[in-house]
Structure 1
Amino acid sequence: MRVSLFITCLADQLYPDVGESVVRLLHRHGCEVDFPELQTCCGQPAFNSGYQDEAREVARGMIRAFEHSDYVVSPSGSCTGMVHHYYPQLFADEPEWRFKAEQLVAKTYEFSQFMVNVLGVKDLGAVSDERVTYHPSCHAMRLLGVKDEPLELLSEVEGLQLIELPKKEDCCGFGGTFAVKMADMSEAMVCEKAAHVCSTGATALVGTDMGCLMNIGGRLNKDQQPIRVMHLAQLLEEGVRRGESASGK
């Protein structure tokens, strides 16, 4: 199975190890992974700020970048949600480009979606002694309907203790440009989210969007809370290596 990695801006520039974990896990399950170098931003910051013409041009570049891909997998529900819900809308008056956008939508998946629903994999053979709480990001949950897949993957990790996060459906306050335009409100929201994370007694916070994890992790770090903040792919890949080491593979 041939898969193209859609890395996203945050993972590419700040958290490349997330992309590496995704690629390693895909390789382990028989996928041939490539990285189209024409890919850039998905256009969401411009779109959310009202610059639809600029977002449309960025979207054209993304469509070209992945035009020949069989599957496109991303470690971000937010960026995947942008492609799924707004690319066809951006080209509503351009039938040819709308068709191309819909083709990209049909083959683009968030990481946990792809693992569970396309590859049919839930148990990766991962091992962990972490006490984990999971933050479901707004876009993955509400735009893509990704609710059970991350939890199904986490539930199969041997030794992991999964602790439910209070008010888990609440936004962390990041929201991309929202955090810049509404800084005071954003700070209040992330403070509340961080307090809920701390109340679980978890040793690690796991999520599927680095925007959310960067925001919550920054607050936890400012509060000097010793809680690891990890993308789901990082925890799983770390657990797989640990499981192989324990079994002598």
Structure 2
Amino acid sequence: MKVGLFIPCYVDQFFPNAAIATLQLLEKLGVTVSFPLNQTCCGQPMANSGFEHLTTGCSELFMDNFESFDYIVAPSGSCVLHIREHLKDERDQAKALVTRHKVYELTSFLTDILKVKNIKAKFPHKVGFHQSCHGQRGLHLSQMTELVAPAFSKPGDLLNMVEDIELISLNRKDECCGFGGTFCVTEEAVSAKMGQDRVEDHLLNGAEYITGVDMSCLMHMEGILKRKGSKVKVIHIAEILNAE
């Protein structure tokens, strides 16, 4: 299988360790991965701000970089959801539709495509898992607690394979952190209060680390933790699954 690694711009610029861990993890699992060097932003920030009509160049560049792969994997649920729902190419809409369905968030690719049953990783810490809204409600990575339906969590299943990890229980396990892309800029007071509430849940339950599938959410909570002077750290799930 030909797998293309899509690294969102903010991960590339601010959290390269999450990208490196994603690559190393996939290679440990026997996947041959290519990283197109000309890739850039998927266009989500513009679409979030009401300017989706200006994302054509981003979509066309994404197609040029990734249309030839069997699968496209990214360590970001929000960017994957944007591509799946909004990728368009005026030159060839049929190819754009096919490409949309090749894009997978990392944990979904591991559970749904690779069918991973064992992760050789060790992380002896108390960890709180933050389920981002895009991943949960858009990509269906885990069940929503308000539904009367069987519980499941693809990221949770993978974390439970990690040796010595202690996953803490949260009082409100699928509450939004308040980041919301450009929402945290246009409604910063609301966003900050939501983030404080989300962080406090992890702190009250003894987390040493907060992890998740979206560095954007983790970045938001990291800022709040630093302002509080907390020693709790954030870490992308790929870094835990790749830990030795």
State the Cα deviation string for residues 184-212 of structure 1 (Å, max 9, x = none): 11111111111111111011111000000
Does residue 192 of structure 2 align to residue 187 of structure 1?
A: yes
Q: Equivalents in 2 of 1:82, 1:121: separation in Å?
A: 25
The one-letter code of the counterpart of 1:209 is: D
Paired position in structure 1 for 2:8:
8
Paired position in structure 2 for 1:204:
209
State the Cα deviation string for residues 101-158 of structure 1 (Å, max 9, x = none): 2111121100001111111113212122111110000101111111111000011112
Deviation of the 1:53 alpha carbon: 2.0
Q: Equivalents in 2 of 1:8, 1:186: separation in Å?
A: 22
Following superposition of structure 1 onto structure 2, how do residues 59-78 of structure 1 map, counting pairs within 5 Å?
59-78=59-78
Poorly superposed stretches of 4+, deviation over 6 Å = none
Q: Equivalents in 2 of 1:64, 1:2: separation in Å?
A: 15
Does residue 43 of structure 2 align to residue 43 of structure 1?
A: yes
Q: Equivalents in 1 of 2:163, 2:17: separation in Å?
A: 23
Deviation of the 1:80 alpha carbon: 0.2
C-alpha contact 1:122 1:152 (8 A) present in aligned 2? no
Q: Equivalents in 1 of 2:35, 2:123: separation in Å?
A: 30
Question: Over aligned residues, Cα RMSD in angstroms?
Answer: 1.3
Deviation of the 1:11 alpha carbon: 0.9
Q: Equivalents in 2 of 1:47, 1:122: separation in Å?
A: 37
The one-letter code of the counterpart of 2:24 is: R
Q: Equivalents in 1 of 2:232, 2:212: separation in Å?
A: 13
Following superposition of structure 1 onto structure 2, how do residues 117-132 of structure 1 map, counting pairs within 5 Å?
117-132=112-127
Question: Quick one: which of 218, 225, 230 aligns to 1:220?
Answer: 225
Question: Quick one: which of 106, 112, 125 aligns to 1:111?
Answer: 106
Paired position in structure 1 for 2:136:
141
Deviation of the 1:230 alpha carbon: 0.5
Paired position in structure 1 for 2:238:
233
Deviates more, 1:46-55 or 1:109-118: 46-55
Paired position in structure 2 for 1:155:
160
Deviates more, 1:226-235 or 1:54-63: 54-63
Number of matched residues? 234
SS, match of residue 40 in structure 1: coil
Does residue 56 of structure 2 align to residue 56 of structure 1?
A: yes
TM-score using structure 1 length = 0.90
Deviation of the 1:52 alpha carbon: 2.1
SS, match of residue 230 in structure 1: strand
The one-letter code of the counterpart of 2:239 is: Q
Q: Equivalents in 2 of 1:122, 1:151: separation in Å?
A: 13
Deviates more, 1:46-55 or 1:111-120: 46-55
> In percent, how many aligned pairs have the same letter?
37
State the Cα deviation string for residues 14-35 of structure 1 (Å, max 9, x = none): 1111111011111111111111
Deviates more, 1:106-115 or 1:156-165: 156-165
Q: Equivalents in 2 of 1:140, 1:30: separation in Å?
A: 25
Q: Equivalents in 2 of 1:209, 1:131: separation in Å?
A: 19
Deviation of the 1:182 alpha carbon: 0.6
The one-letter code of the counterpart of 2:221 is: I
State the Cα deviation string for residues 46-87 of structure 1 (Å, max 9, x = none): 111111221122111111110111211000000000011222
C-alpha contact 1:135 1:165 (8 A) present in aligned 2? no
Q: Equivalents in 2 of 1:162, 1:27: separation in Å?
A: 26
Deviation of the 1:166 alpha carbon: 2.1
Paired position in structure 2 for 1:30:
30
Does residue 101 of structure 2 align to residue 99 of structure 1?
A: no
